[in-house]
Structure 1
């Protein structure tokens, strides 16, 4: 019996040992579970979250930009961007050629790009593509490849509005133009949410909303899309006809200072900013300075009237068609003889306006032009706007004031010229140009209203028969304006290339629009006058303003001429001879830029 009892004892001992071992293991497991669930819970929770829990940005749509009538000028459209986890891709190198083909890039390029980011968990593969294209890539089910929502900016008006609006970069941040100036307003604030992603980057659960997204705010501009298109179209046509290299047009609402149109050429497509010449991105209307030429003459006359050194009936002997100017001559294209104050503007006499400036002190002339905004920013708020060049009298030489009186020795931007003419038309009240509808811009008086009206009436003769800008005349409306043709500065002197100007206001009796046209380097192979302001720039003014007056329902202020034209047209339709009406052929008598010839006995 003893051997049997010994066997039973050994079996029981073994069972007890096994049971004890299992019990200890169970106890260890329970202890470990307690440790994981209770004691070191935070540590292990963090480790788990680090692998699957992610905080991701909630993209927001950029605010829409519209014109003054609510027409969209810049809109944001949802797109998809494809991204990847480089570490996951490197675990599946056999899938890289397939992915490269879907992305449209060489396989070796993608492999090198992924290898360079081997220590990262995120990289962009292709950004801002259509949701359909992104879905095809993600549908390949390649580990570590996913997509997310973003927004892309689109500009329906394309090149016509490019310089006003600017564009946004790959991250939807404003880079130029009003997109840059109002970036904080338009961009909004992205939100944030916590999600759980699987090992392929797909969101399997939304855990928590961390921060609410705030979409960008909309922006309503003063720009009128229709007038903007007219300005762009007519400027483009003028450059084609004249062979010019570039140009700018600015249209202002006189009563409010609102910018209704601002066009520049060459332009670019803001929907494809990576293509083309970066130089075309420059908004020449606010960044390029030019010597304003004869567009300065009405302001010189206004300065003389304000100072009381001349009256509208003053006369000036311009014989023999030139006067000394230091070592050079100030010349007119013709010997106009004796001119009254109005005649100086109508014939654009450099000699006559020089004699007016001679009656003014340097300081008085300088202070007057400063009041009209020359030599300082217009305060429009447009990015990159330059103040122009207008030296103080202490830096003037003996000939400076004379040349400044007809637009040399001083530089301004097209928007400054338009602002100055708007002030003349607004009864001598200057307003800062504004691009945002409803923005407050108080006017300040810079000239007596009676004097401003006198100068406007003088400028009206420029577009009438005998003036230098009959091509700017608009049937049914009195037009006030001034041509200008200036030589381009080059190498410390002046080249044989020209800048053609026209600045004008319409209607004269109840001014509504002010407009400046600047065309650079027109073809003058047939003579300088064929590149003159009355020949090249004035028709741009007429064509744009005809459309703007019609679009804005501005009533005519020259009914007599309009009725005469209607009667003539009716008579012609009836087979009779039309009654004679005022000639509208161009009379290009604008004074040439000063001839750079030494005058006998003249001293600097």
Structure 2
């Protein structure tokens, strides 16, 4: 029988050609070889080539950067006594939600960890209470404090600005370090610390309005604000490895140290300021005055020895003052301009004498109080009633005659038209009026010296001459009159003596700006006239044995009174200037001699003793009051 053959091209099910199978195996083996080669290469790269990079990335992920705060520089008085310094205090912080979970957020903690969290609170309450002095129930409340939604808070300040010894006390306790109470782990994370330095003012209210205060680490007012960049320093940083429980011990870290702020030595005499503060505080309280201040200045140098305001404040308790009496935090002696009143007559008469418009003994006929003197649409009168009188220039100053000063200013300056008025303006500009004193205290307001109105309006020129229609601050006015006393030379006032950097190197401030304003002979004439003003009220403002020269002032602004007096000692060679001012709203308290005079007297007496001012030679012969009116003879007054 013939054999049957399979038709060509028909595949038999279940069998494959041997050549085809072998080819597929070869392809599979090749693919596997390629796969394992690539995988092996990647493994080598992963384990060897990238290992160091990955290690760096992991380490970097554990790195923490912490700012290192510099220590704020101190403020010192002229003798190096500390007025303000910074203590490196800390805030104590707890995390109730972490404590309750034994180091883990309580919402993710196991029941066992939550049970240990209860033990941690129980163990730490007596420790923290003992180290901080807080009541135990208050401590427990902090450790378990809840938010408004009832969840445990993640962050609670246990105490603020405490000494590092309090934190160390907690960390040193056996409960913190030893594994006890069945908790089985170190608990140094329960209470942590955050730097929060505390500014301390050891003399409390002394020069507080000048020093200012610090808020959230930055100057908020006074020298603390004006010198903030100098006092602050430069922050540093620490980069370190950290775990859940904080910094990893013995791990590498990089530290860039902070640069502490510079310390600043002021010209302030803290002893003088303390005594002056007591005096102005007492007078304000006794007479129910609104505010007041006193300036004590070294005549030859312009250095401010004391600038005291009342009310003042305690820099150690600024938060309480801000709530109870925020106005006390200001420094009205430089920020609140006022009309100087009759103390301005010292400047006007100095320019009159210097310009040759009069001498101390020149006679000026002054109309009666009833007639006064016409000025524009107004009639200006003296403060007290009198008939017609022939005053000497000395008498005009001593009797504080508004009418007499206006007449002399007119005859010397206004009568010469715009050029004459400009000459008066130039004098006052040289005295520093209408300009910031440059003392370095923030917020200084120089007030207004109305140049344009003086040139255009005769009434403004007249009223400025005797102390109204302009405004000044206390330092500005003190520096102006100081020029009259200082042989006619203006010395820019200063309150900063030097700065000392963290390297211990001291740098003195540049010498103050000086300029001659009036002649030396004019200065002497003015001091003689001012000395006669003291003789008229000798029991109130005179100092036995020492010649002094002064002028009182009273200004009324919308029924409010500004009562003042400014004087120097000794009159023959001035060394110290005292300016005392009080302000009272809606008051009839009285003139400057009555309100400010007694305080001025006591402060000047203290200054004379404190700064070694010797008794004046032949003081008795200067107790003769020189003629104030035509035809008078000298009179002994002390």
Q: 1:368 aligns with which of 427, 430, 433?
A: 427
Unaligned runs of 5+ in 1: 1-27, 489-493, 565-580, 585-604
Aligned to 2:203: 157
Shift of 1:228: 1.0
Measured in 1, the distance between the counterparts of 2:225 and 2:331 equals 13
Pick closer, same or farther for the CA change 1:231–1:145 going to 2, 3 Å.
Answer: same
Aligned to 1:429: 489
Shift of 1:199: 1.8
Q: Is the 8 A contact 1:246 1:520 kept in 2?
A: yes
- 1:519-547, Cα deviation, whole Å (9 max, x unpaired): 001885xxx4x521111112222211211
Shift of 1:446: 1.2
- 1:85-141, Cα deviation, whole Å (9 max, x unpaired): 7985671376599599666866786545997997xxx88665422334444666663
Measured in 1, the distance between the counterparts of 2:586 and 2:568 equals 27
SS of 1:274 mapped into structure 2: helix
TM-score (norm 1): 0.79
Q: 1:299 aligns with which of 342, 347, 368?
A: 347
Q: 1:196 aligns with which of 236, 241, 244?
A: 241
Q: Is the 8 A contact 2:206 2:270 kept in 1?
A: no
Q: Is the 8 A contact 1:500 1:520 kept in 2?
A: yes
Measured in 1, the distance between the counterparts of 2:616 and 2:140 equals 63
Aligned to 1:473: 542
Q: Is the 8 A contact 1:242 1:531 kept in 2?
A: no
SS of 1:400 mapped into structure 2: helix
SS of 1:331 mapped into structure 2: coil
Over the aligned positions, Cα root-mean-square deviation in angstroms equals 3.3
Aligned to 2:596: 537
Pick closer, same or farther for the CA change 1:110–1:511 going to 2, 3 Å.
Answer: farther
Pick closer, same or farther for the CA change 1:329–1:149 going to 2, 3 Å.
Answer: closer
- 1:109-508 aligned at under 5 Å gives the runs 110-111=146-147, 126-135=159-168, 141=187, 143=189, 145-170=191-216, 172-202=217-247, 204-205=249-250, 207-276=252-321, 277-321=325-369, 322-325=372-375, 326-335=377-386, 337-359=389-411, 360-361=413-414, 362-394=421-453, 396-437=456-497, 438-439=508-509, 440-464=511-535, 466-467=536-537, 470-488=539-557, 494-495=558-559, 497-508=560-571
Q: Is the 8 A contact 1:62 1:216 kept in 2?
A: yes
Q: Is the 8 A contact 1:246 1:266 kept in 2?
A: yes
Bigger Cα Rg: 2
Pick closer, same or farther for the CA change 1:298–1:163 going to 2, 3 Å.
Answer: same
- 1:380-433, Cα deviation, whole Å (9 max, x unpaired): 121111121111134653311111111110000111111111111111111111
Shift of 1:311: 2.1
Aligned to 1:510: 573
Shift of 1:257: 0.8
Q: Is the 8 A contact 2:453 2:460 kept in 1?
A: no
Aligned to 1:569: none
- 1:453-475, Cα deviation, whole Å (9 max, x unpaired): 111111111111x25x6522112
Q: 1:80 aligns with which of 90, 98, 105?
A: 90
Unaligned runs of 5+ in 2: 1-38, 108-113, 126-136, 177-186, 415-420, 498-507, 624-634
Pick closer, same or farther for the CA change 1:176–1:33 going to 2, 3 Å.
Answer: farther
Pick closer, same or farther for the CA change 1:189–1:37 going to 2, 3 Å.
Answer: farther
- 1:304-347, Cα deviation, whole Å (9 max, x unpaired): 11222222221112231232333333233031621100111111
Per mean C-alpha deviation after superposition, the further-off stretch among 63-72 and 81-90 is: 81-90
Q: Is the 8 A contact 1:86 1:115 kept in 2?
A: no
1:65 correspondence with 2:75: yes
TM-score (norm 2): 0.75
Pick closer, same or farther for the CA change 1:301–1:113 going to 2, 3 Å.
Answer: farther
Shift of 1:483: 0.3
Measured in 1, the distance between the counterparts of 2:336 and 2:465 equals 21
Q: Is the 8 A contact 2:94 2:143 kept in 1?
A: no
- 1:65-98, Cα deviation, whole Å (9 max, x unpaired): 1111111111111212234679856713765995
Q: Is the 8 A contact 1:473 1:479 kept in 2?
A: yes
- 1:550-590, Cα deviation, whole Å (9 max, x unpaired): 122121225544999xxxxxxxxxxxxxxxx9767xxxxxx
1:54 correspondence with 2:64: yes
Aligned to 1:588: none
SS of 1:389 mapped into structure 2: coil
Pick closer, same or farther for the CA change 1:54–1:152 going to 2, 3 Å.
Answer: same
SS of 2:346 mapped into structure 1: helix
